Amino acid sequence: MLTKVHTGLEPVPGIWWRPAHKAEKIWVGIAFAWCMVLFAMMPLWHYRGGQNPAGVRTRVDPKAFYARTVEFANQYKIAEDRGIPIVQPPPGADVYLVGTTFSWYPILQLQAGKEYMLHLSSADVNHGFSLFPMNINFQIVPGYDYALRVTPTTAGDFRIVCNEFCGIGHHTMVGRVIVVDESGSTVADNAKATLKNGGAP
Amino acid sequence: MPAVRVCPATGRTIHRQAELLVRFNAVVAVVALLIGAIAALLLVLTRWQAVHLLPAEWYYRLLGVHGMNMLIFFIIFFEMAVLWFAATVLLNARPAAPRFGWVNFGLMVVGALIVEWTQFTGRADVLFTSYPPLKAHPLYYLGIILFAVGALLVTAQFFATLVIAKREKTYEGSMPLVVYGAVTAAIIAVITLIHGALIYIPTFLWSIGVIESIDPQVYRMIWWALGHSSQQINVAAMVAIWYMLGALTVGSVVLNEKVSRSAFVLYIMFISMASAHHLLVDPGFSPAWKIVNTSYFMYMAVLASMVHGFTVPAGMELGMRLRGFNDGLFGWLRRAPWGDPGFSSLVFSVVVFGFVGGITGVTLGTEQINIIAHNTMRIPGHFHSTVVSGTALAFMGATYYLLPLIFRRKVAFWKLAKVQPYLFAGGLLLLVMGMTFAGSFGVPRRHWDISFSQAPFDVPFNPAVDIFLAMMGIGGIIAVTGALAFILIAVTSVFFGETVTEFPRGAEIRGIPQGLTNPPVHPANVDELNAALHAPERGFAGATPGTLVLVGVFLLAFILYYFTNWKLLSFLWKIG
């Protein structure tokens, strides 16, 4: 059964394809079973879980996407903050957000508990969509429209941090998303949201 | 000077040209490590928001410099040294076309110098990944191409040397497991470097205006087949070094060649597709594509790592037990040579790579969990525990043995060398935990200013983030101190060290690791002892009960961390 005792530095004479000891067999079996659990969790979450990076993904011309976003912003604009339009689309609408060096356009105002089709893309280089303080992250690639069905479940005043390096001004690229509750009032409970969602490993 | 010599410690034939190639590659690797370590210190002191040292431009520039020097130049030059060492010294073979080896070494050095020049002069502020449409100076891409071609040709020489060894019958039977691991690394290197050519050549042509545009999503896919697969060269080389250091320091035995070698084959077969886990929240790929590439394929590579994670410590345990350290569950571990920097490096490399790097890596590489991790500080938190406290530390441990064996010098500053692995691993553990926890609060990676002082809107991070960034900062300073200590020891030993001509058995000599003067030899009746330890009445735990307990703890930690992350994910908005 056993090969002659040897270290990994010595050549192995003869046939070394021999049965493993029970302890090794048990560990390989457990490790394999665990890997199958790791695999099964992903399709399972697509059926039963609420957070999936699926959406509808299409190619798009960056200029056309930018023009579509401007059109969308003009259509639903309700106010302005620091020169950027605040846009309130109706629930269920297609919502557009574009990253350009170094800003996000426009500011979105959404209703808690309602579903939207959020289209993400870039007008120039790669950007990173990182919703603070929820810590929801997506890669934004120019030429690709990433449309995600999003239902904000918590009201509040949120930020979009760019978390893909996009140039020397990358760290100034911050956008804003406002989520209002059913009464229609803006509830800025960032502090609470941080405590609830930002924690642990 | 004669073309060959006989090693006084191991009795192996060492060819002069091969030895010189090992030495030169190792020395250049250490120079790259020095540049990377200085950059690391400046970067960590910038990301530690309370210190915030560098201006924005230099932060991003040095981030690129740090990535290139550590992940490419340090590691690949060292791997070239490992390939030359494994093929010639471990197989007693002469190197294939050593003169051509110097040409390739020259190509790699020239390529590296060109890259350094473009980076330091601000001609390549595109970070390590250089995602188009961000564009660098054409020479930047050309430098990388030259370096990669040199590395690819050395790999070809490695395979040629294997053929020579087989033909000239320099060894009997199958090649040693450590060389088998090096072959695995070399095969993955070929796959990786081909992807590098596939992406850097068109990008170079784009940068000089021959090609009109590069699709940013296609670039990301092929680039990561280089960027992540290259880390699998490291993993394979590191595991080979684990088996080597185990053998040299405690007389590790190979439990079962079939199991260990099959695990290496799994790496080759599945690791390239696993690079897809960098694209889990990218718009260009369907969920089915993402799941297939990161589940069946990646998890078979994960399985391989879990197998080595058992066989390496189990080999150490059995090696120690066969040498008489047979008391209790963990007597073998307690009575191991903890003062030998080769041994302590090995243990910390295995433990941090497995417990921290492995567990976080698999968890972050899960399709949906990536939503709460992508491009946050959790990512550098993960790969500093694999590439740095795993691979780099294993390479450092190997260096403490290569200095007397190949450079024929005593290890300088011996006392410092004994604590260096503790310093390096301890600092990195702090750094990695600081990064991981800060990332869990959404702190982005590759970001100059998370106080957002120049941004239109405030981003009020949880105050706990300051504590984690301080942890990262202090850990980073300790880890860089450990790296600089290693460089000081290595450079002083190589250029000013005391010459070693013999390894007197039984003596304890400052500057020579104990495994060389007190080699961990097994008693003459070792096969009988081995059979007794494997006797059926010892139950299923057999000869390695201690390791079985350790991997059990590992699995529990893994399960806990993995499902905690699913729970955290479930708190988010509905997205689909």
Surface of B (118-147) touching A: CB under 8 A: 125, 127, 131-134
Residue B151 falls inside a structural domain: yes
pLDDT reported for residue A13: 86
pLDDT at B477 exceeding the cut of 90: yes
pLDDT reported for residue A187: 46
Lookup result for tokens 């040209």: B17
pLDDT reported for residue A195: 35
Mean pLDDT for the stretch of residues A91-99: 97
Interchain CB contact of B168 with A (< 8 Å):
no
CA distances from B449 to A95, B59, B286, B475, B532 (A): 29, 10, 34, 20, 62
pLDDT > 70 in chain B, percent: 100
B271-275, B279-283, B419-423, B540-544, range with the lowest pLDDT: B271-275
Q: Are residues A84 and A171 in the same domain?
A: yes
Domain boundary among A36, A52, A68: A52
Q: Least CA distance to B523: which residue of chain A?
A: A5
Q: Are residues A5 and A98 in the same domain?
A: no
Q: Are residues A43 and A67 in the same domain?
A: no
pLDDT reported for residue B565: 97
Cβ-Cβ contacts under 8 Å, B543 against chain A: 21, 23
Total number of domains constituting chain A = 2
Residue B95 falls inside a structural domain: yes
Residue B115 falls inside a structural domain: yes
Q: Are residues A105 and A157 in the same domain?
A: yes
CA distances from A107 to A123, A179, B142, B262 (A): 16, 11, 42, 54
Interchain CB contact of B532 with A (< 8 Å):
no
pLDDT reported for residue A185: 61
A65-74, B281-290, B529-538, range with the lowest pLDDT: B529-538
Q: Are residues A40 and A65 in the same domain?
A: no
pLDDT at B504 exceeding the cut of 70: yes
pLDDT reported for residue B9: 80
CB count, 10 Å around CB of B410?
A: 17
User: Model confidence at A184, in pLDDT bands (50, 70, 90)?
Assistant: low
Give the distance from residue B301's alpha carbon to the nearest chain A alpha carbon, in angstroms: 10
Give the distance from residue A122's alpha carbon to the nearest chain B alpha carbon, in angstroms: 11
Interchain CB contact of B556 with A (< 8 Å):
no
Nearest CB to A134 within list B261, B302, B572: B572
**pLDDT per residue as tens digits for the range B438-463:** 999 999 999 999 999 999 999 999 99
pLDDT at A194 exceeding the cut of 50: no
- How far, in Å, CA of B272 to CA of B228, rounded? 8
pLDDT reported for residue B296: 66
**pLDDT per residue as tens digits for the range A100-126:** 999 999 999 999 999 999 999 999 999
CB count, 10 Å around CB of A99?
A: 26
Give the distance from residue A148's alpha carbon to the nearest chain B alpha carbon, in angstroms: 6
pLDDT reported for residue A197: 37
Total number of domains constituting chain B = 1
A42/B367 Cβ within 8 A: yes
Residue B96, phi then psi, degrees to nearest 5: -80, 130
pLDDT at A147 exceeding the cut of 80: yes
B281/A22 Cβ within 8 A: no
Which residues touch A135 (CB under 8 Å, ≥6 apart)? A197, A198, B372, B376, B440, B441, B442, B572
Domain boundary among A35, A52, A69: A52
**pLDDT per residue as tens digits for the range B117-165:** 999 999 999 999 999 999 999 999 999 999 999 999 999 999 999 999 9
- How far, in Å, CA of B76 to CA of B79, rounded? 5
pLDDT reported for residue B102: 97
Chain A / chain B CB contacts < 8 angstroms: 369
pLDDT reported for residue B363: 95
pLDDT reported for residue B105: 97
CB count, 10 Å around CB of B99?
A: 8
pLDDT at B41 exceeding the cut of 90: yes
A9/B446 Cβ within 8 A: no
Task: State the residue range of the domain holding A193.
Answer: 56-197
Cβ-Cβ contacts under 8 Å, A201 against chain B: 436-437, 440, 561, 564-565, 568
pLDDT reported for residue A1: 47
Q: Are residues A44 and A127 in the same domain?
A: no
What is the rounded average pLDDT for all residues in chain B?
Answer: 94
Q: Are residues A48 and A71 in the same domain?
A: no
Task: State the residue range of the domain holding B83.
Answer: 20-89+91-175
Residue B374 falls inside a structural domain: no
Q: What ipTM is given for this predicted complex?
A: 0.92
pTM for this entry:
0.94
pLDDT reported for residue A72: 97
